Structure 1
Amino acid sequence: MTMTLDSGNHDLVGLPLWSTSNFNDKYVQRPLSVGTGAFSKVYLGSDIAKSAKVAIKVIDRSTLFDEEEKRLVAEIEILGELSHANIITIHDAYCEAESYRIILEYMNGGDLLGIIEKENSLDERNARDICYSLVSAITHLHTHSIAHRDIKPENILVSSSGDDLVVKLGDFGFSKKEITPNCLVTLCGTPSYAAPEVLTGRPYGVKCDLWSAGVLAFVLMGGYQPFHGGKNEDEIKNLIVKGDFNFDVKYWSHISDAAKDFIEDLLIVDPDDRAEAEDLMSHSWFSEDNLLSTVPSDSPKPVFFMIGSQRSGSNWLRTMLDQREDLVGPHPPHVMREFMPLISKFGDLSQEENFNILVDHVCTFVERNQVPWNDKYGLPITFCRQKVCDQAKASCERIKLQEQGDLDNELYLLSIFDSLMDFFADANGKELWMCKSMGMSAYHTSLLKFYGQRRLRYIYLVRDPRDVAMSFMNTPVGDKHYYAIVKKWAKLQEQAIAILESTPDIIFNIKYEELLENKEDVISCIYDFIGDRRFGGVKRQASVMSIAPVAASVNQAKRGGESFKAHTLSQH
């Protein structure tokens, strides 16, 4: 049985929900699943007549209770009412003996969270375009008195064609009609995106979606949740209920006031004071003139440099940090130290031929490093010269626009170093990298110019010079004379202290004695400094039908208990 929806007419009034056409006459379902939900799997398929790809959502009927089936039918009915460029289109719905099959528009780019996980955060221009599309979709919903009730990155589907990115709102499993003002009472959605009125159990209306859109806008540009830092879920809930958030200057200094104003207009605790979705369409942020900068944006991912003391303390710390699933720290390539004394021999680096020669020399130097660089399969890395060149040149062009002038050789070389580190991280399936060359603090001015305070981070290991000297003198390599070791140590401290005094927000101090006394606490503090921003600081979260603390949810996780709760709550 099938429900057929013409793309130009989504009015289901008077039409039977299910009809009897044959699925196999119209569609081909491929065997490979491209997505999995709590009760469903999504398969790639094709429309035979149109030779077009479709997404086929298959729900096993044996896993559903009566109330869940009612919610599924309600979701299909609501999708059938909607026709909007930024809302996923439903084509057909089949009710079969063992399963439901819902035929949806195919989006080839996954979901928005996948992009956030990869990029950590988006530049303001892209975030603004996504938010405009989302507000447009919400406006359409609210015009039909429909609340989505679960707006989050996982439910924003993405399709790309060339440089164009299209986003569409999907997953209407919690959507509901607001028949009379503030008639909704079900505690549902995803806790970190849920509005205060939902979390506190007050009757609410469609404006709950606008709060969720505000959280999503914050996540897109900040790369982390606006309400964070609490020790447990109750503390985070209190922050949400109070609307207690701020724009950390480390991550928001490059974002326009108009963007922040947009978020503040949405994250208003009292829904009566929140703007209407339709009014937001004309918000000043969506004007082309309100972006803070027209300079091409750099990657938002932070980069980390270990500075200060050397040998056993730093080696242990390096090993511990290498355990992070998102962070990689190769053996120091010493690119800057080895090539800066020779850089003038490569001529004018603004000339493409000279720059390409330098790239090849640096790549060869690192490939022949004393400690080889391997990929995640343990194979030696061979750099793609063209890829390294393209990324380094793009970085140089960005800095030129930013500085409005020619670059010095140090920045040209740094662009190559940065490209190699990114190449290594990608080859090892990592998101972030750390340079463990203590001497990089000598290039702080150029590092700050290249990465900016938004990205640049230092971990400064403070250690008694006598311990450092003994550590060096007891190893088969390195300096052996006490004076030479201490002199080198003093120079490193001088550079580190200068950074600490000029830009204290980007440096984290670790005392070697504290490291020895309580390694767990120290590593925990370092992880806090590296931040919840790993993988965007935005974890994939399940939607729930009654927002409760994790412990309570675990205790009530048996299937029957959840069904009873759903039956009770879904009445509204």
Structure 2
Amino acid sequence: MKRIQIIGTQRSGSNLLRVMLNQHHNVCAPHPPHLLKTFYPLLPRYGDLQFKDNFISLVEDMITWVKLNPVAWQGFNPSPNQIIDRCTSPTVFQAFKSIYDWETSLSGKSVWVCKSMTNYEFADDFEKENIFDHYIFLYRDGRDVALSFSKAIVGPKSAYYCAAQWNNDQIASIELQERLGEKVVALSYEQLIENPEVEVKRLFDAIGLDMPEDIFGFPSSVESRVTAEAGEMWKNVVRPVIPDNKLKYIDEMNQRDQQIYESVAGAALHALGYPVYYWPNQTLSFSEQDLDMMAAKEASLKKEAKSRTPLHDLNLRKGQDEFLLQLKQPKAV
């Protein structure tokens, strides 16, 4: 089994890349249920995982979580023991790995890709347990990422908070690339949409896979259709690569927000080769009052984004939302 993790920040073209990779005859790239982001903070609930009953309880809940994913994993219905039998130790990381292994075997494939992009946070554990063969660091101009987040149900909404998250994600991904060398393959979203044949071939060569002739037939794939039907923010995966889907911030982000963004993330933008207009000479500093005002704006924008989210999208997330509330309740003694 070959395992690949995409890292970086959401809204960077990761679903485009995921359905494209899933087009390969031997690659399983299901929509991510964000298992580690969800369950790692909940580990105290389960106690010492060396006790079999505790580990079974964790794995059982992780399986339920996958079943509630807004984009369904077709045919996914293992028992906890079928997942545990694939684990080499009782850890949440092994459970995560084994769940993806199970889905990949079920599909008759031998390579899987996880799109939970902030999983770079667990890189030390992945490396210790020898889980991943490669990481793909997918990056996009953070100002366009911010615009995309502003229209999505998930993620930060204002320039300051978008910049802070993007900046942290890029710095961590760059540091991981420096530490692991060729094991991390960097891929620019802008270059991917400008020269898809060249960039996809380079990516496949780097991760040791052949490039299928029908790789760009992904818009008509079942995975693309199911993903697009599951939410407004994924609707573009049934469209071909859009070469001009970039530099939107120039017309759509006001200058004040651009200056705020570069004040937080200008160094990372520059390091990744993006043009900067305010960093480093015209960056802003933020007082406590400024931060309070931006926090209030962020909360207001998140509330507004949720209010305009289609009911269909909210209903598809309802199962996981309600289950997570249950998991956060104290366990009955």
* TM-score interval, smaller chain: 0.5 to 0.7
SS of the counterpart of 2:6? strand
For residue 359 of structure 1, what is the aligned residue in structure 2? 59
Cα shift readout 1:216-257 (whole Å, capped 9, x = no counterpart): xxxxxxxxxxxxxxxxxxxxxxxxxxxxxxxxxxxxxxxxxx
SS of the counterpart of 1:391? coil
From 386, 389, 401, the counterpart of 2:81: 386
Deviation at 1:353, TM superposition (A): 1.4
Looking at structure 1, the residues matched to 143 and 116 of structure 2 have their Cα atoms a distance apart, in angstroms, of 21
Cα shift readout 1:507-561 (whole Å, capped 9, x = no counterpart): 1111122112200111111111221489xxxxxxxxxxxxxxxxxxxxxxxxxxx
Deviation at 1:422, TM superposition (A): 0.7
Equivalent runs, 1:491-530 vs 2, <5 Å? 491-530=168-207
Looking at structure 2, the residues matched to 532 and 469 of structure 1 have their Cα atoms a distance apart, in angstroms, of 33
Looking at structure 2, the residues matched to 433 and 532 of structure 1 have their Cα atoms a distance apart, in angstroms, of 12
Quick one: structure 1 residues 338 and 309, their matched pair in 2 at CA, closer, same or farther if it must change by over 3 Å? closer
Looking at structure 2, the residues matched to 490 and 342 of structure 1 have their Cα atoms a distance apart, in angstroms, of 26
For this pair of structures, how many residues does the alignment match? 211
Q: Is 1:486 the equivalent of 2:181?
A: no
Deviation at 1:420, TM superposition (A): 0.4
Deviation at 1:479, TM superposition (A): 2.7
Deviation at 1:314, TM superposition (A): 1.9
- When the two structures are superposed, what TM-score results if normalisation uses the length of structure 1? 0.36
From 304, 324, 340, the counterpart of 2:24: 324
CA contact (8 A) 2:6 2:116 kept: yes
Structure having the higher helix fraction is: 2
From 443, 448, 451, the counterpart of 2:122: 443
Looking at structure 1, the residues matched to 42 and 10 of structure 2 have their Cα atoms a distance apart, in angstroms, of 26
Looking at structure 1, the residues matched to 73 and 9 of structure 2 have their Cα atoms a distance apart, in angstroms, of 24
SS of the counterpart of 2:66? helix
SS of the counterpart of 1:503? helix
Deviation at 1:312, TM superposition (A): 5.1
Deviation at 1:364, TM superposition (A): 1.2
Amino acid at match of 1:351: F
Quick one: structure 1 residues 504 and 467, their matched pair in 2 at CA, closer, same or farther if it must change by over 3 Å? same
| Gap regions ≥5 residues in structure 1 | 1-300, 376-380, 397-410, 535-572
From 342, 352, 371, the counterpart of 2:42: 342
Deviation at 1:302, TM superposition (A): 2.5
Equivalent runs, 1:98-497 vs 2, <5 Å? 301-311=1-11, 313-375=13-75, 381-392=76-87, 395-396=88-89, 412-451=91-130, 455-497=132-174
CA contact (8 A) 1:333 1:366 kept: yes
SS of the counterpart of 1:341? helix
Looking at structure 2, the residues matched to 532 and 513 of structure 1 have their Cα atoms a distance apart, in angstroms, of 22
Deviation at 1:310, TM superposition (A): 2.3
Deviation at 1:431, TM superposition (A): 1.1
Looking at structure 2, the residues matched to 347 and 513 of structure 1 have their Cα atoms a distance apart, in angstroms, of 45
SS of the counterpart of 1:460? strand
Query: RMSD of aligned C-alpha atoms?
Result: 1.8
CA contact (8 A) 2:7 2:135 kept: yes
Instruction: Choose 1 or 2 for highest CA Rg.
Output: 1
Cα shift readout 1:102-130 (whole Å, capped 9, x = no counterpart): xxxxxxxxxxxxxxxxxxxxxxxxxxxxx
Cα shift readout 1:200-231 (whole Å, capped 9, x = no counterpart): xxxxxxxxxxxxxxxxxxxxxxxxxxxxxxxx
CA contact (8 A) 1:305 1:436 kept: yes
Amino acid at match of 1:497: I
Deviation at 1:370, TM superposition (A): 2.4
SS of the counterpart of 2:126? helix
SS of the counterpart of 2:171? helix
Quick one: structure 1 residues 348 and 374, their matched pair in 2 at CA, closer, same or farther if it must change by over 3 Å? same
Looking at structure 2, the residues matched to 445 and 471 of structure 1 have their Cα atoms a distance apart, in angstroms, of 30
For residue 214 of structure 2, what is the aligned residue in structure 1? none
Looking at structure 2, the residues matched to 486 and 383 of structure 1 have their Cα atoms a distance apart, in angstroms, of 40
Looking at structure 2, the residues matched to 449 and 312 of structure 1 have their Cα atoms a distance apart, in angstroms, of 28
SS of the counterpart of 1:304? strand
For residue 172 of structure 1, what is the aligned residue in structure 2? none
Amino acid at match of 2:96: F
CA contact (8 A) 1:447 1:456 kept: no
Looking at structure 2, the residues matched to 507 and 416 of structure 1 have their Cα atoms a distance apart, in angstroms, of 23
Deviation at 1:389, TM superposition (A): 1.4
Amino acid at match of 1:421: Y
Looking at structure 1, the residues matched to 40 and 199 of structure 2 have their Cα atoms a distance apart, in angstroms, of 35
Looking at structure 1, the residues matched to 53 and 19 of structure 2 have their Cα atoms a distance apart, in angstroms, of 39
Looking at structure 2, the residues matched to 523 and 511 of structure 1 have their Cα atoms a distance apart, in angstroms, of 11
Q: Which has the higher contact order (CA 8 A, sep 6+)?
A: 2
SS of the counterpart of 1:498? helix
Looking at structure 1, the residues matched to 7 and 181 of structure 2 have their Cα atoms a distance apart, in angstroms, of 14
For residue 261 of structure 2, what is the aligned residue in structure 1? none
Amino acid at match of 1:315: N
For residue 95 of structure 1, what is the aligned residue in structure 2? none
Cα shift readout 1:153-174 (whole Å, capped 9, x = no counterpart): xxxxxxxxxxxxxxxxxxxxxx
Deviation at 1:475, TM superposition (A): 3.2
Looking at structure 2, the residues matched to 357 and 476 of structure 1 have their Cα atoms a distance apart, in angstroms, of 30
CA contact (8 A) 2:2 2:110 kept: no
Looking at structure 1, the residues matched to 209 and 98 of structure 2 have their Cα atoms a distance apart, in angstroms, of 24
| Gap regions ≥5 residues in structure 2 | 212-333
Looking at structure 2, the residues matched to 475 and 413 of structure 1 have their Cα atoms a distance apart, in angstroms, of 29
For residue 570 of structure 1, what is the aligned residue in structure 2? none
- When the two structures are superposed, what TM-score results if normalisation uses the length of structure 2? 0.60
Looking at structure 2, the residues matched to 335 and 315 of structure 1 have their Cα atoms a distance apart, in angstroms, of 17
Quick one: structure 1 residues 511 and 344, their matched pair in 2 at CA, closer, same or farther if it must change by over 3 Å? same
Structure having the higher strand fraction is: 1
Looking at structure 2, the residues matched to 312 and 340 of structure 1 have their Cα atoms a distance apart, in angstroms, of 24
Counting aligned pairs with the same residue, the percent is 35
